[in-house]
Structure 1
Amino acid sequence: MSTLPKILVFDSGAGGLSIAREITAVLPHCDLVYAADNAMFPYGEMEDDQLISRVLEVMGHLIEKFTPDVAVIACNTASTLALEALRARFGTTFVGVVPAIKPAAKTSSTSVIGLLATPATVEREYTNNLVKDFADHCLVVRVGSSKLVEYAENEIAGNPASNEELEAELQKLLTTTNQTPMDTVVLACTHFPLLKERFNRLNGWRNVQWVDSGSAIARRVKFHLEEAGKLKPAQLRPQPSLMLYFTDTDTHPSIAKCYQQHLIADNIFGTISAHTGAVKN
């Protein structure tokens, strides 16, 4: 049995892979469980009460099955809605994801910032408060895009969107009469960093700073593991394992393979497995 710390990364689909990659870069000697509630994808289109109930149900199942040391809710929508309820119900250490508005406002030279998120995140009071608290001196142009979530899922599955489709979504950030150029865009959905390399190759977007929460989340996970005394000296570390878990029991093995390929670029994992398991409603 592995003596390594176990990190659970949870999302409704592939978006959390962007967070998981950052975590494995900072913490390569940890067992990783990546769980996708793909039976209910996408979370951004669910009613708030339904989403909270679903996340509590699935997370209870995952905690019982995997007993993680830290659970990362790698979804902005689920974090803003369900994190408080999760912490109240379970004794597990949870780390959530929030839009990286604070660092974007600090680093923008023009004080014109794009906020690219799901339609639900764009409109949430939580997002309004972040803008008010940390970017009140900036012009924040908000765009909610469900299409980019779909494009990111397809990108991971090997069916990329065209440059024209990506450009059409990004162009919505420029529908403002302000003449000062936008130099920073917050990727406020964990799916969107999966498209960042594509964005950087598009005409007109190569000099934009794309800001997301991935590295900050990885540092936070490391902090919790260090605080709990879970990180061991290098000589005591066996090779870590990767387990993928999908709630849709019809998930094709090829999807698991695509997830694996995104996470094992550095070949840090000794064993890799994929499983499906229905979570009863």
Structure 2
Amino acid sequence: MLSFRSGWGKICISLLNCRLSFFCSAMKHTVLIFDSGVGGLSILQEVRQLLPNLALSYLMDNAAFPYGVQPDDVLLRRIVNVCCSAVEVLQPDLLIIACNTASTIALPALRQQLSIPVVGVVPAIKVAANSAPGGHIGLLATPATINRTYTDDLIAEFASGCTVHRFGSSELVLLAEEFMLGYDINSALIEHVGKWIDSTPTMTHVVLGCTHFPLLNPLLQRQWPKIQWIDSGNAIARRVQQLLPVILDDNKSGELQLLWTDAKQMPTAAETFLSQMGPISHAAPLSVKEFSYT
């Protein structure tokens, strides 16, 4: 009888382990992170740090880079086609639009088109304004983001008591891309951003309103250490945590994938950056289809 009970106990434990294994595997989610270039890697880094067990796929539309200089109607169709193509292939549980320009243009269309949660990024103006009430704060973004009515509304709602100094720069996006390729951009960065900083009253906080710009944080902080450089990365990671409950497993990191749209141009900078977080399980160009939307 003792051996029977012992054997039955082992069977029960085995069945319990199988159920737990199935439950854990069901809770292992996949997130797709999208940008036109390498900027979205700043968001991916924050998500990886907070939720290391999530499987992350990074998609860059390098065939249409940069987004900030293209007409909105062209970008809307392009973003919907690229993202829907990737979702169809990868079947992720959540999509992050890790680009301020793409978020302001395409979020409503993507949320209507897709059945999964779609998270966008917006400039962290509220955070900066709360940190410097009544003070001088900066907004460093692309010209498209700087000039949008959406940005005006954010400032009016959250920073009406502050003086907000805006600087729209497409050049800084290109500098970030070069920095990720290993080029020395320090002199160009100091000259470009320094002219703006020197021409404004002392700013205590500057919002990095393009996901490319946090990649330059080490250089920005070293050159202007008295300024607090603020971005949306951690807030996005916490939002993902709210939407996708995960089981933490310290022994296993989620797999990493890399996709891009220009089959002739392998994104070596993105590959190098991702490989520092772990092995890349899959890297390949994405075939983009046409999708109808309203």
Q: Does 1:272 align with 2:270?
A: no
Whether the aligned pair in 1 keeps the contact of 2:133 and 2:162 (CA below 8 Å) is no
Query: How far off its partner does 1:266 sit?
Result: 4.5
Q: Does 1:262 align with 2:273?
A: yes
Where do 1:109-148 residues align within 5 Å? Answer: 111-148=135-172
Larger Rg, first or second structure (1 or 2): 2
Q: Does 1:232 align with 2:247?
A: yes
Which amino acid is the alignment partner of residue 30 of structure 1? L
Q: Which residue of 2 aligns with 1:171?
A: 194
Among the aligned pairs, what percent are the same residue? 44
**DSSP 3-state at the match of 1:39:** coil
Measure, in 1, the Cα distance between the counterparts of 2:171 and 2:184: 12
Whether the aligned pair in 1 keeps the contact of 2:208 and 2:230 (CA below 8 Å) is yes
Query: How far off its partner does 1:113 sit?
Result: 0.5
Where do 1:150-161 residues align within 5 Å? Answer: 150-161=174-185
Q: Which residue of 1 aligns with 2:10?
A: none
- CA gap of 1:272–1:160, structure 2 versus 1, over 3 A, is farther
- Which residue of 219, 230, 236 corresponds with 1:217? 236
Query: How far off its partner does 1:109 sit?
Result: 6.2
Measure, in 1, the Cα distance between the counterparts of 2:52 and 2:182: 26
Measure, in 2, the Cα distance between the counterparts of 1:233 and 1:18: 22
Indicate the larger mover: 131-140 or 104-113. 104-113
Measure, in 1, the Cα distance between the counterparts of 2:194 and 2:48: 33
Whether the aligned pair in 1 keeps the contact of 2:138 and 2:166 (CA below 8 Å) is yes
Which amino acid is the alignment partner of residue 265 of structure 2? T
- Which residue of 104, 118, 122 corresponds with 1:98? 122
**DSSP 3-state at the match of 2:183:** coil
Query: How far off its partner does 1:99 sit?
Result: 0.4
Q: Which residue of 2 aligns with 1:57?
A: 81
Q: Which residue of 2 aligns with 1:20?
A: 44
Q: Which residue of 2 aligns with 1:247?
A: 261
Query: How far off its partner does 1:233 sit?
Result: 5.2
Whether the aligned pair in 2 keeps the contact of 1:151 and 1:160 (CA below 8 Å) is no
**DSSP 3-state at the match of 1:34:** strand
Q: Does 1:193 align with 2:193?
A: no
Measure, in 1, the Cα distance between the counterparts of 2:69 and 2:184: 22
Measure, in 1, the Cα distance between the counterparts of 2:230 and 2:52: 23
Measure, in 2, the Cα distance between the counterparts of 1:233 and 1:113: 38
Measure, in 1, the Cα distance between the counterparts of 2:55 and 2:236: 17
**DSSP 3-state at the match of 1:115:** strand
The alignment covers a number of residue pairs equal to 266
**DSSP 3-state at the match of 1:210:** strand
Whether the aligned pair in 2 keeps the contact of 1:248 and 1:278 (CA below 8 Å) is no
Measure, in 1, the Cα distance between the counterparts of 2:111 and 2:282: 29
- CA gap of 1:67–1:207, structure 2 versus 1, over 3 A, is same
TM-score by length of 1: 0.89
Unmatched segments (≥5 aa) in structure 1: none
Which amino acid is the alignment partner of residue 232 of structure 2? S
